[in-house]
Amino acid sequence: MDQEQRERKLRQEIHGLRVKKFHWPLDAFRFIIKGLGYGESLRALPEDRLTELKALLLKYRKHGRPQVFTFDRQGMYMFYLMKTAAWTESQLRAFMLKHFSKSHWNLLDRKERRAVIAMLQNYIKQNEKKAKYTDNKEASNGHTQDPQG
């Protein structure tokens, strides 16, 4: 089997994993592999990178546990902040991809992790200020107007 045939077989096996193991549509798969640094096309990858991607996909284990259990202690704190800030996992992933070109918490270095936590803490503080301002505004409006006339 020559190199071209081996690469073709690897691409087929990777797409088999995409469909059977993960149930990812093609667009989602392209987004994920681009976020992981493999580009958008498997055809552009050499054999060694295809082998690396296949090994990564084989190691990834889908499980029934909640997402929070895939994080370390600091990651669990980040997950708590994410939920407190009312962010979804896809919003967080998009933020990490946009700012750090990384698709998962476990890929971030210490500085990037601190930046994500600080951003979420800031977002929570802003939401608390807005809520407090809204509550104060409603309370002051309620005292000045008597609903009985």
Res 82: pLDDT: 93
User: Do 45 and 73 share a domain, yes or no?
Assistant: no
Res 42: pLDDT: 94
Residues in the chain: 149
Domain limit, last residue, from 47, 62, 77 = 62
Domain limit, last residue, from 23, 41, 62 = 62
User: Do 72 and 141 share a domain, yes or no?
Assistant: yes
Written as six digits, the tokens of 140 are 């002051």
**Nearest alpha carbon to residue 124 among 89, 84, 94:** 84
C-beta pairs of 72-81 under 8 Å, 24+ apart in sequence: 72/106, 74/113, 74/117, 75/105, 75/106, 75/113, 77/117, 78/105, 78/113, 78/116, 78/117, 78/120, 81/117, 81/120, 81/121, 81/124
Could you read off the pLDDT of 53-101 as tens digits, one per residue? 998 888 876 655 555 456 788 888 999 999 999 898 888 888 998 899 8
pLDDT category at 147 given cuts 50, 70, 90 is low
Q: How many domains are contained in the chain?
A: 2
User: Do 48 and 74 share a domain, yes or no?
Assistant: no
User: Do 51 and 74 share a domain, yes or no?
Assistant: no
User: Do 74 and 142 share a domain, yes or no?
Assistant: yes
Could you read off the pLDDT of 20-62 as tens digits, one per residue? 888 888 888 898 888 888 998 999 999 999 999 998 888 876 6
DSSP strand E in the chain: where? none
SS3 content of the chain, % helix, strand, coil (to 5): 75, 0, 25
Crossing angle (nearest 10°) for helices 73-84 and 110-144: 30
pTM: 0.47
Write out the residue range of the structural domain in which residue 132 sits: 67-149
User: Do 57 and 73 share a domain, yes or no?
Assistant: no
User: Do 57 and 91 share a domain, yes or no?
Assistant: no
User: Do 80 and 141 share a domain, yes or no?
Assistant: yes
pLDDT category at 119 given cuts 50, 70, 90 is very high
